[in-house]
């Protein structure tokens, strides 16, 4: 479902009036449309199938390079993401780190950031976002385990309340073999390294 830009524009204009502003003053005249356009981008993932980017898989044993079957995890670190906190509609942004233990099928590495982008482009909380990413990958791929680590800075923490400018939030979601903390210890160490 696409964002109703016209309706958002009308509501933003009403919001400006509600906070005591004049929506017709020069600096605010275009604000309702600008916010509507921004929201169309911020919430592009609403109603989209997050598993769609994972639909094209590659057989590890019969694919183009059967001699390179991975014996361990496949990891993609430092996937930048941004989302909107559903509690205050303020942004949070950071990095996602994803590792999975392949079964017979692997997916192109470019598909993983697409999953993150789709799920992050919705009103979210970081804890649920990590769980949704893990569930999507575990459900769409024939994998033995998945771990998703999200590290983000929330403007609802940095701009309001305690105003903790340097505070960041880290969440972990794990499935399959990685649900065991001992099994995911190596992955967590690799995520934390500056270089592999």
Q: Is 88 annotated as a binding residue?
A: yes
CA 63 to chain CA centroid, Å, is 29
Q: Among 152, 151, 149, 153, which residue's Cα sits nearest to residue 189?
A: 149
Is 143 known as a binding-site position? no
C-alpha to C-alpha distance for 101 and 149, rounded to whole angstroms: 15
Pull the structure tokens for residue 104. 């017979």
Q: What is the DSSP string of 79-134?
A: EEEEEEETTT--EEEEEEEEEEEE-SEEE-TTHHHHHHHHHHSSEE-HHHHHHHHH
85 has binding-site annotation: yes
Extended strands (E) in 26-90:
57-59, 74-85
Q: How far apart are CA 185 and CA 58, in angstroms?
A: 27
Nearest to 118 by CA among 57, 53, 36, 38: 53
Residue ranges of the annotated binding site are 85, 88, 156
Residue ranges of the annotated binding site for Zn(2+) are 85, 88, 156
């Amino acid at each position: 479902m696409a964002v109703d830009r016209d309706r958002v524009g009308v509501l933003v204009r009403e919001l400006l009036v509600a906070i005591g502003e004049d929506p017709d003053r020069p600096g605010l005249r275009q604000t309702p449309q600008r916010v509507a356009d921004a929201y169309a981008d911020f919430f592009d993932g609403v109603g989209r199938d997050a598993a769609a980017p994972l639909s094209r898989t590659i057989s590890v044993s019969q694919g183009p390079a059967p001699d390179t079957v991975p014996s361990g995890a496949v990891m993609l670190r430092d996937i930048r993401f941004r989302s909107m906190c559903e509690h205050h509609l303020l942004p949070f942004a950071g990095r996602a780190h994803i590792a999975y233990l392949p079964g017979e099928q692997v997916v192109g590495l470019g598909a993983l950031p697409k999953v993150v982008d789709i799920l992050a482009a919705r009103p979210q909380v970081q804890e649920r976002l990590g769980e949704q990413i893990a569930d999507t990958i575990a459900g769409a791929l024939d994998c033995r385990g998945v771990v998703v680590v999200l590290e983000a800075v929330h403007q609802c923490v940095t701009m309001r309340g305690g105003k903790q400018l340097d505070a960041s939030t880290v969440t972990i979601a794990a499935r399959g073999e990685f649900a065991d903390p001992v099994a995911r210890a190596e992955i967590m160490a690799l995520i934390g390294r500056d270089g592999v």
